Amino acid sequence: MKNKKIKVSVLLSASLVMNYLPVIAEENSGWINNDGTWSYVKEDGSIAKGWIKDGDCWYAFDDNGAMRTGWIASNEHWYFMGESGVMQADAWVEDNGARYYIKGTGVMAKDYVKDGYELTVDGKAIPLAESKSVVLTAPEALEGEVIEGNLYVDVTTAKALELKGVTVKGKLVVIGDNKTAGKLTITDSKIEAISTQTRNTEVVLSGETEVKTIVLEETAAVTPDKSYKGEVEKIEVQSTTKGEIVIEVPAQEVSTRTYASVDIQAPVESLEVKTDTQIKVNADVKNVVVTESAKDTAIEVSKGSTVGTLTAKAPMKIKGNGTINKVEANVNGVEASKDTVIEDVETNKGVTEAPEINKPSTGGSVGGSGGGGGSTPITYDLSIKEGNQTLAVADTVQLHAIVKPSTANQKVTWQTSNDSVATIDENGLVTAHGLGDCTITASDTYGNKAEINIIVDTVKLTELDSYIDNNTVVVGAD
């Protein structure tokens, strides 16, 4: 008879996870025991390797098919497998005299707070009272504070919160219950790093805020408002859950090691893909590297967007109507859609299958470096079609920004210099509110700006009575 491994309950205490051991039982099971080493035979008869879910429990196996126990590193996260091989979740673990907390996803918590403890960058628990970190739960603004350690913002209770003029020398960590929708606005603040560790939350960067690093550990959004002029040095996408992560903040470097898909909507200097990922490119990206561990990645470049150089070190797919200046195929199996414009292709020695050069039928250049018979660098230009405007109070006018050439990314942001005179929405609709003048500015993704002047100097008859009531001064009145 074959041995069968069955599961029993896990006993938890406040300080220790008690792991259960495999039990020998009936035959006809996927589990086999070879001299004390457990393996799992899949339905096709092969030995399981990597991660396997059996019932409600996850197990991990090495390259030889042996079940693993203890700590496991996977996709830049740590997991703890009990003596029975079961991945621990939502539990405290003691190991070598230190305490660790394992989240519900199975990931070891770090830069996190739980039950009065702070989980440090290496995951070890220390009493929160002994650290320099601060936990913020009250739904109000925090202004002018300097936090020496980490600042933890719990959006479960503080669903709408603003940080203004705050300096965080550690990390700003957004935590919650993965269900509550929260919003955190950061204005004119200095943040070393932002870590999002809960879902359904929006972090808004505003004004002169400076952020070096953003780590997206969950499918939360980090977005800039119209007043934000900065650029993030590095964005790390590490989400362990499926879904879509949108990059809306300009960044020098983006790296992805995630189960989520990624939509890039702001200019990026360098993108490194470390696991197979579905990526949409809706802005210009200078360099993309698909690493050896990112086999089967698909990159879709939208019309009007340009990738400078795409280096493929693993088989992958290229899609979309956009442009890639150069594809460097280091392996076979790099496929490209016939709709994608590809200006140049280079292959490593031994590569026999690679995308073909696919230039527009009209000829010319879409980008690249000049000289030596190469392409001429493209020049982008931004203008506002309507020009200066004179309006009456309550008038509206629709503005249209034009980015040239027509193949460029047409996305722009709008801003007014005085919203008491006139406001403008994200679609370019201006509404006049009060007498005076203001400047309307359009900004494209290439760093160009265009301006027009708005003058509001008349009042519609329907608004005249209320305007007189609010603005008349009686000469000689007490």
158-178 residue pLDDT tens:
778 889 999 999 999 998 888
Q: What's the pLDDT tens digit per position in 95-142?
A: 999 999 999 889 999 989 999 999 998 999 999 889 889 888 766 678
Here the tokens at position 143 are 């202004």
- Please give the pLDDT value at position 119: 93
- Residues near 248 by beta carbon (within 8 Å), at least 6 away in sequence: 221, 222, 223, 224, 265, 266
The chain-wide mean pLDDT, for the chain, equals 83
Residue 438 has pLDDT above 90, yes or no: yes
To which H or E segment does residue 263 belong? strand 261-264
SS3 assignment, position 169: strand
Residue 25 has pLDDT above 70, yes or no: no
* Prior bond of 267 cis (ω within 30°): no
Chain CA centroid to CA 58, Å? 27
Residue 232's pLDDT band, with cuts at 50, 70 and 90, is: very high
pLDDT (mean) for 270-285: 94
- Please give the pLDDT value at position 464: 41
Here the tokens at position 373 are 């018979």
Residue 365 has pLDDT above 70, yes or no: no
Residue 334 has φ and ψ, to the nearest 5°, of: -90, 115
SS3 assignment, position 130: helix
Residue 361's pLDDT band, with cuts at 50, 70 and 90, is: low
Let me know: does 316 contact 332? Beta carbons within 8 Å: no
Q: What's the pLDDT tens digit per position in 238-273?
A: 877 777 888 999 999 999 988 788 999 999 999 999
- Please give the pLDDT value at position 350: 86
Q: What is the dihedral of CA 156, 161, 164, 166, to 10 degrees?
A: -10
Q: What's the pLDDT tens digit per position in 312-328?
A: 999 999 999 999 999 99
By mean pLDDT, which of 168-172, 257-261, 415-419, 465-469 is the weakest? Answer: 465-469
Residue 214 has pLDDT above 50, yes or no: yes
Q: Is 109 or 463 the better-scoring residue by pLDDT?
A: 109
**Which has the closest alpha carbon to 238: 74, 454, 419, 436?**
74
Taking the whole predicted model, whether its pTM rises above 0.75 is answered as no
Domain extent listing, the chain = 30-113, 132-306, 381-456
Alpha carbons 267 and 444: distance in angstroms, whole number:
10
- Please give the pLDDT value at position 213: 94
Cα first-last separation, the chain = 106
Alpha carbons 353 and 335: distance in angstroms, whole number:
8
Q: What is the dihedral of CA 124, 128, 131, 134, to 10 degrees?
A: 120
Residue 280 has pLDDT above 70, yes or no: yes
Q: Kindly state the percentage of the chain with pLDDT values over 70.
A: 85
Architecture of domain 30-113: Ribbon (2.10)
Q: Which amino acid is at 465?
A: D
In angstroms, what is the C-alpha Rg of the chain?
A: 28
Q: What is the dihedral of CA 262, 254, 446, 439, to 10 degrees?
A: 80
Q: What is the largest CA-CA distance in the chain?
A: 109
- Please give the pLDDT value at position 433: 92
Q: What's the pLDDT tens digit per position in 180-203?
A: 888 899 999 999 999 998 888 889
Residue 378's pLDDT band, with cuts at 50, 70 and 90, is: low
Residue 407's pLDDT band, with cuts at 50, 70 and 90, is: low
- Highest averaged pLDDT of the listed ranges 6-10, 162-166, 258-262, 459-463: 162-166
pLDDT (mean) for 350-367: 70
Decide yes or no: CATH 2.60.40.1080 for domain 381-456.
yes
**Which has the closest alpha carbon to 417: 407, 430, 398?**
430
Alpha carbons 401 and 439: distance in angstroms, whole number:
15
Here the tokens at position 360 are 């527009």
- Please give the pLDDT value at position 458: 61
- Please give the pLDDT value at position 259: 77
Q: What's the pLDDT tens digit per position in 40-92?
A: 998 888 899 999 999 899 999 999 999 999 999 887 789 999 999 999 999 99
Residue 402 has pLDDT above 50, yes or no: yes
- Please give the pLDDT value at position 10: 35
